[in-house]
A and B are shown apart, each in its own frame.
Chain A
């Protein structure tokens, strides 16, 4: 079952620009996570935001969470070519402790 849905599916920008990706989910959650995947590699955890938080920062990343709209956004500021990757949101799945459901992902391409 699909919990998180990312938007847009693909995003192409120039180096130095900001990139914003959105994630919507269906059921109540206690946290939401964002992961990055470079082509052909495993996923890397970027940031976790809890349901009682509205905004969280980590370096050039800014994540927001709106539980009333069941949505989250990931903003990458001053993007670099090295930020080119797929980005996934993930939410806790069902009642099993630790289980996550991942969205389809946003493919970000940053042109030098």
Chain B
């Protein structure tokens, strides 16, 4: 988990509320990613950013939004439009280099009731 922090570890929200998940890295990585993981499943890419002030939709971007105003930070907002937001959210970062190795944060478990 070193170098990437996600907060909080557990988050509870009522249906209809927007919620923002924090992701910060001190690895000086250019690229950052948000994934969603459902129980017993693999990771699905929500959004990614390869450079400050630029980001692209992943496979399941609907109902989510992001910003990348600083190299170190890539917050994810889960909006009320996301139909099934309860999940484990993982943030990752990587160098824009040949290896593509990604470094992950500890994750935020979001429960919406």
A-chain residues with CB within 8 Å of residue B103 when the two chains form the complex: 45
Category for how many chain B residues contact A: 20 to 34
A1 within 8 A of B: yes
Chain A: number of interface residues, binned into ranges: 20 to 34
In the assembled complex, the Cα of A90 lies from the Cα of B100 at a distance in Å of 10
- A45-B101, A104-B42, A105-B42 as given contacts; A98 in contact with B31, CB under 8 Å: yes
Task: Please indicate the chain A residues that have their CB under 8 angstroms from the CB of B92 in the complex.
Answer: 42-43
DSSP majority for the B interface? strand
Contact of B1 among A41, A48, A98, A102 (CB under 8 A): A41
A2 to B60, CA, bound (A): 13
Contacts A97-B96, A98-B100, A99-B33 aside, 14 further interface pairs with beta carbons under 8 A come to: A40-B109, A41-B107, A42-B6, A42-B105, A42-B106, A42-B107, A44-B104, A96-B48, A97-B50, A98-B94, A99-B58, A100-B100, A101-B45, A105-B41
> Which B residues lie at the A interface, using CB under 8 A?
1, 4, 6, 31, 33, 35, 40-43, 45, 48, 50, 56, 58-59, 88, 90, 92, 94, 96, 99-107, 109
